[in-house]
Amino acid sequence: MTQNVGNIDRLLRIIVGLAVLSLVFVGPQTLWGLLGLIPLGTALTGWCPPYAMLGINTCGTKPAP
């Protein structure tokens, strides 16, 4: 797996992931907030499966052939 998520993209994913995950503890307190784990996971690994399928790379480096 080659990284395809850049630093700014990762930061935004962490912020969005934490905001959505907070819905489990505050606000409507629904388990739908667990969907925030998806952007957090992609931010921590630096790899996004949909980006790989679509050929998107926000990392700034070219992927290995």
Q: How far apart are CA 24 and CA 38, in angstroms?
A: 14
The one-character DSSP state at 46 is: S
Helix (H) or strand (E) holding 15: helix 7-21
pLDDT value at residue 65: 64
Q: State the pLDDT at residue 27.
A: 86
- Residue 63's pLDDT is what? 56
Alpha carbon 25 to chain centroid distance? Answer: 20
- Tens digits of per-residue pLDDT, 12-65? 999 999 999 999 999 888 899 999 999 999 999 999 999 999 999 998 866 566
H-helix segments, the chain: 7-21, 37-45, 49-54
Asked if 21 and 34 touch (Cβ cutoff 8 Å), the reply is yes
